[in-house]
Amino acid sequence: MAPTIPRHLVRNVGIVAHIDAGKTTTSERFLYYAGRSHRIGEVHDGEAILDFRADERERGITISAAATTLAWNGYQINLIDTPGHVDFTAEVERALRVLDGAVVVFDGVEGVEPQSETVWHQADRYEVPRVAFVNKMDRVGASFDGSVRSIRERLGAVGIPIQLPDGEAEAFRGIVDLVTLEYLRFEPASLGKEVVRAAIPEALRARAEACRESMLEALAERFDPLAEVWLDGSAPAPDLVHRAIREVTLRRTAVPVLCGAALRNIGIQPVLDAVGRYLPSPLDVPAVRGTVPSTGAVEQRAPEVDAPFCALLFKVVANPAADLFYLRAYSGAMESGARLLNARTGKGVRLRRMMRMHADRGEAVERLQAGDIVAAAGLADAVTGDTLCDPEHPILLETIRFPDTVVSIAVEPRTTADRDRLWELLDRFRREDPTLDFKTDPETGQSLLSGMGELHLEVVLQRMQRDFGLHVLAGKPRVSYRETVAAAARAASEYSRKIGDDQLWARVEAGIAPTVPAAAPAEFVDATARGRVPGAYLPAIRESLLNAAAGGGLYGYPVTGVLVSLHDAQFADAGQPEIALNSAASMTFRELLMRAGPIVLEPYGRLEVRVPEDCLGGAVKTLHHRRALVEDTAYHRDAVTIRGVVPIAEMFGFLTVLRSQTQGRGTFSLEPLDFRPVPENLVAQQHHRLYGD
Ligand code: GDP
Ligand code: MG
């Protein structure tokens, strides 16, 4: 049985970065050095321990965040490995929500890349303190200074190097610790497990001392107790320097920067040390906020063990055997088997079989307390974002927000039996991944699977086939369109019908006006003269108008970015006024769209393409053909980066084209940005594309 560790020694941290920066490679070393694994699994051999799903091993990327616990210098580090691909942004989003600190890994050659930028801003939003690790210092072209500079220029953050690399690229062989002024050598014979601390070689001495001065100056500016000592001219003790680094990290006024080469087993243990020393414990983070379900009152829960219990369900993993539910406890404590309340459903639940996870294996725990992250089985109808709490003290924690889906694919089961199974599976997958959506068009009977990108959906289909033996026919990926209006308008419609002896009659007068952002859900405002429409009927009319918007406009896409105002409603008292009002409201809504002029919107993404310089012309031409708006091009030593925005619809199959144009040397990233109007001349064509095949 795993003992419980004092809270101030717990670290809930994530490793985040751009894809391929080396998160998994770094995590594998964490496990090995902390004695959690007895070998190092390499990503490129398809052997990484943390990438335990077959599709992850095959593709060499991390898809679902795997939680792992390890012990380091008395700390209990709960580590979440998150995927770098933007198609799996939900994973990163929810990891940031439950983590207290993060290690951000950069590629020493590339510096800050688009996804690290996105994740950085997400971490800012969740106020997550960070340490930076500049990895791949062994690669040709690696530059520590360059990476620190790009942290300042592209992230607007103050990076304070607390180490100095000895050499770069092929010459990279060790690290100077600027806090203690020691030289660290990672013995290759022990796969870097043995760290030798020695005196700094003469040749490096002057530079190391200069770098230490810069570090102390930057810290002193932000931490007074250090300033007092440093301005005095005395050498601050390592403990004081560590305290200064911890303070600036927790207050997020600066970010300590470390360096290394995970693949060469250099510089990993100092990152673990930094996690313990500088990142927050669950006690260092602010109380969580939530609402009391019965009253809607806002309440705070401090991370105290004797407060009422509450935990957030942040991840569900569908397994052929049994689904796994990942929980982060925020306050209080509970024993295995105790009765809890699911604050969303109002139903009681019992948590049995709680486990501290080690990649795909679990170690039983009997007690869950504030700050812990565990997996549990048997939570029947719980979904990602649910709150589990003490039934005597119900609270609904702020749920995790997810972006709208932008890409869909038509799926067709081959038999009727497969159809039922498909529904059941997609239902489970959706619980696991809230950025996945699944609908059947009532008119065409066609089933549409929607998600965050081409790769996202491809992975879902492949997993269905591989893990669950279900094969479905899939159409081509398409983007999800929306509709909005060009101008404001006003309209009124009357509905009249005789049913039996009852004369149903209603008239609804309403207005519509465009709002921003164009893809935001439609909103409603009551603009009727006071007392003119009986209050009891207002909610029904509001529902009818908003349902009409969600149900699809003149082109059949959800109507967004509009404010619908109700100006008048009249109805005959006889029969069922709601039915007549509902019909009149729907008719009025269509009339409004016609008068205001519909606009079809399509999703745009932020694009970054990196190509060798001699391929620049061809790449720009291809991008123009795909309606990309190029915003800037930046020249590097051996490549050019093109940045801009592009309709996501134009980017399907782009990777294949890019690869052939650049002999496999080009790369790109695309992340959903916003929705913009489809050019007039393309509306008919796009419309055909969606319903045509
Ligand atoms: P992730 O996508 O961030 O999880 O990155 P991975 O850990 O999967 O690494 C991506 C690729 O970079 C793999 O082929 C690794 O072997 C390689 N890699 C990771 N760390 C280093 C490093 O320190 N030096 C070099 N040269 N390659 C590395
Ligand atoms: Mg990975």
CB atoms within 5 A of ion ligand 2 belong to: 23-24, 62
466 confidence band (pLDDT: 50, 70, 90)? confident
CATH architecture of 603-691: 2-Layer Sandwich (3.30)
Report the predicted TM-score, pTM, of the whole model to 2 decimal places. Answer: 0.74
Mean pLDDT of the 104-109 span: 95
Above pLDDT 90, what percent of the chain? Answer: 53
Q: Is the pLDDT of residue 371 over 70?
A: yes
C-alpha–C-alpha distance, residues 241 and 181, integer Å: 12
The pLDDT of residue 90: 65
Ligand sitting nearest the alpha carbon of 25: 1
Q: Give nearest CA residue, ligand 1 atom 28.
A: 263
CB 282 within 8 A of CB 7: yes
Select from 3.40.50.970, 3.30.70.870, 3.30.470.10, 1.10.10.10 the CATH code of 407-479. Answer: 3.30.70.870
* Averaged pLDDT score across all residues of the chain: 88
**Same topology for domains 8-284 and 293-397, yes or no?**
no
Least confident range from 69-73, 286-290, 481-485, 665-669: namely: 665-669
Sign of CA dihedral 463, 465, 469, 471: positive
Which residues, at least 6 apart from 374, have a Cβ–Cβ distance to it below 8 Å? 326, 327, 329, 354, 355, 356, 357, 365, 368
The pLDDT of residue 692: 38
Which residues, at least 6 apart from 157, have a Cβ–Cβ distance to it below 8 Å? 120, 151, 254, 255
C-alpha–C-alpha distance, residues 96 and 443, integer Å: 40
Spacing, Cα 12 to ligand 2 middle (Å): 19
The pLDDT of residue 1: 46
Please give the residue that has the higher pLDDT: either 88 or 254: 254
From 15, 16, 20, 135, mutation site for ligand 1 pocket: most ligand atoms within 8 A of C-beta: 20
Report the top-level CATH class of 8-284.
alpha beta
Using one digit for the tens of pLDDT, what is the confidence trace for 48-97? 655 656 665 555 544 444 578 888 999 999 987 666 555 666 667 777 88
Q: Where are the domains of the chain?
A: 8-284, 293-397, 407-479, 483-596, 603-691
Q: Is the pLDDT of residue 249 over 60?
A: yes
CB 602 within 8 A of CB 651: no
Backbone dihedral region of 22: left (phi > 0), alpha (psi from -120 to 50 degrees) or beta? left
C-alpha–C-alpha distance, residues 539 and 543, integer Å: 6
From 43, 52, 62, 271, mutation site for ligand 1 pocket: most ligand atoms within 8 A of C-beta: 43
The distance from CA 343 to its chain's CA centroid, rounded to whole angstroms, is 24
Residue carrying the six token digits 């695309």? 670
State phi, psi for 94 to the nearest 5 degrees: -75, -30
CB 206 within 8 A of CB 196: no
Which residues, at least 6 apart from 233, have a Cβ–Cβ distance to it below 8 Å? none
Q: Is the pLDDT of residue 152 over 90?
A: yes
- Give the number of other Cβ atoms within 10 Å of residue 574's Cβ: 12
C-alpha–C-alpha distance, residues 513 and 490, integer Å: 9
Ligand sitting nearest the alpha carbon of 65: 2
Mean pLDDT of the 476-482 span: 90
- Which stretch, 183-187, 436-440, 464-468, has highest mean pLDDT? 183-187
The pLDDT of residue 691: 44
C-beta 20 within 6 A of ligand 1: yes
Spacing, Cα 25 to ligand 1 middle (Å): 6
The pLDDT of residue 385: 84
C-beta 263 within 6 A of ligand 1: yes
Report the top-level CATH class of 293-397.
mainly beta
DSSP string for 397-420? EPPPP-PPP-EEEEEEESSHHHHH
DSSP-derived letter for residue 266 is B
Atom of ligand 1 nearest to the CA of 84: 2
Q: Give nearest CA residue, ligand 1 atom 11.
A: 20
Using one digit for the tens of pLDDT, what is the confidence trace for 565-608? 999 999 988 767 888 999 999 999 999 999 999 999 999 988 88
The pLDDT of residue 693: 35
C-beta 23 within 6 A of ligand 1: yes
Q: Is the pLDDT of residue 313 over 60?
A: yes
Tell me which residue of 454, 447, 458, 362 sits closest to 405, measured CA to CA: 454
Q: Is the pLDDT of residue 443 over 80?
A: no
C-beta 259 within 6 A of ligand 1: no
C-beta 146 within 6 A of ligand 1: no
Least confident range from 320-329, 413-422, 606-615: namely: 320-329
Using one digit for the tens of pLDDT, what is the confidence trace for 21-42? 998 899 889 988 988 777 776 7
Please give the residue that has the higher pLDDT: either 688 or 19: 19
Which residues, at least 6 apart from 190, have a Cβ–Cβ distance to it below 8 Å? none
Least confident range from 84-98, 175-189, 243-257, 504-518: namely: 84-98
Q: Give nearest CA residue, ligand 1 atom 9.
A: 22
C-beta 56 within 6 A of ligand 1: no
Q: What is the CATH number of domain 483-596?
A: 3.30.230.10
> Maximum Cα–Cα distance for the chain, whole Å?
103
- Report which residue type is found at 557: Y
Strand-pair category, 489-499 with 502-514: antiparallel
Which residues, at least 6 apart from 249, have a Cβ–Cβ distance to it below 8 Å? 129, 130, 131, 255, 256, 278, 279
Spacing, Cα 369 to ligand 2 middle (Å): 30
Q: Is the pLDDT of residue 616 over 90?
A: yes
Q: Is the pLDDT of residue 201 over 90?
A: yes
Spacing, Cα 53 to ligand 2 middle (Å): 12
